[in-house]
Amino acid sequence: MRMCARDRMSLVVVAALVAIAPVAGRQDVALKDLMPKGMVIGVAINQRQFDGTDTAGVELITKQFNQISPENALKFQPIHPAADRYNFDPADHYVQFGLDRKMQVVGHNLVWHSQTSGWVFQGADGKPADRETLLARMREHIQTVVGRYKGKIHGWDVVNEAIDEDGSLRKAPWHDGIGDDYVAKAFEFAHDADPNVELYYNDYNLEKPAKRAGVIRLVKDLKARGLRIDGIGNQGHWRLETPAIKDIEDALVDLHSTGLKVMYSELDINILPDAARGADPSIANPYANGLPDDKQQQLSKRYADIFGVILKHRDAVSRVTFWGLSDGDSWLNRGRANYPLLFDRQRQPKPAFQAVVEVLRQAR
């Protein structure tokens, strides 16, 4: 094929534009536009974000994500602090935030051993509540909360963290009071409250074979009972070196072998060492003045590897949710400086963001 001078010239211009596009487009590129079909990308948001106070946060969330999870607002304790009192206001704002932006709105969570009001487990005369009392409270709570957001919430984490490290059911107050079928009961009540809402089981450390086997047993048991379950949430609270990427991939394949979609429901990468209370700050809080370049690169590579696995198995994954918007928002700081997410404390994209964008682009 022969080219005239003008065609050659426009080719040169296009090539030059392509070369500078990744740099010029950096601030404009949105993760949600790069995700494969059928997979949403989201973030857990806090009160200041869904009530609009954190305006820079709201702008970034709106631009980058098409799904939200509530970091705390829909948990039992915040939404149902006393037997006869619900606190719907924050949750209403959370749900409306997502609806206004046409985002997929997730509910987290209905039944958990943590962040649940003490009154729930108390019976008469100071004894632990019995099975019938607990089932009645569970049903009432689920009917009220799931019912209120019927048609608005896309899917619920029905039960959170019910399996122990050895694969058995965790010794938790719901389990103590109701018995082994408490998970099944929660799924039954949730489905009754909204027959169209998706229902998930959510847990962490699923890269550990014994725990994962327990989760798979539980999911199969729910299915065998004829209950609705739509997905398994793998929280994905990981570290720079662990779990190994191979173990992340094996876990994904294994969880998906149940026939269910997997969601990375609470993704973040903890950079800090485990440290005992009162440990020497230079050891416990090594990056108080910023993350060194080599760690920044390691974090980018880690996120690129994780998204590489997700894209390789894209048919197995329906959602990726970061547990917090920016490093400053993360629950992993706890008085130290952590750097677990894609946006820094100034809400600017980190090299890890660029790395994820690159992997997503290449997969398209």
Catalytic residue list: 161, 266
The DSSP result for 304-352, as a single string, is HHHHHHHHHTGGGEEEEEESSSBGGG-TT-TTS----SSB-TTSPBPHH
Site membership for ligand XIL, residue 194 (CB under 6 A): no
- Cα 333 from Cα 329, distance rounded (Å): 8
Q: Where are the alpha helices (DSSP H) in 158-208?
A: 173-178, 182-193
Tokens of 273: 């060492």
CB 165 within 8 A of CB 211: yes
CB 315 within 8 A of CB 252: no
- Cα 179 from Cα 202, distance rounded (Å): 19
The nearest distance, CB 354 to ligand XIL, in angstroms, is 26
Q: Which x/- pattern, by CB under 6 A, does the window 222-261 give for ligand XIL? A: -------------x--------------------------
- Length of the chain counted residue by residue: 364
Residues 6+ apart with CB under 8 A from 198: 154, 155, 156, 230, 231
Q: Which of 30, 51, 63, 72 binds ligand XIL (CB under 6 A)?
A: 72
Site membership for ligand XIL, residue 327 (CB under 6 A): no
Cα angle, residue 191 at apex, residues 129 and 117 outer, rounded to 5°: 30
SS3 percent helix, strand, coil of the chain, rounded to 5, is 45, 15, 35
Q: Which of 160, 205, 234, 321 binds ligand XIL (CB under 6 A)?
A: 160
- What number of CA atoms fall less than 13 Å from residue 338's CA on the CB side? 24
Q: Where are the alpha helices (DSSP H) in 51-163?
A: 55-64, 76-79, 89-100, 131-148
**Residue 71 or residue 249: which is nearer to ligand XIL going by CB?**
71
Q: Which x/- pattern, by CB under 6 A, does the window 264-303 give for ligand XIL? A: --x-------------------------------------
Q: Which of 54, 71, 194, 344 binds ligand XIL (CB under 6 A)?
A: 71
Dihedrals φ, ψ of 13, to 5°? -65, -45
Residues 6+ apart with CB under 8 A from 79: 73, 86, 87, 88, 90, 91, 145
Q: Which of 275, 331, 333, 351 binds ligand XIL (CB under 6 A)?
A: 331
Strand partners, 319: 40, 263
The footprint of ligand XIL (CB under 6 A) covers: 71-72, 160, 235, 266, 331
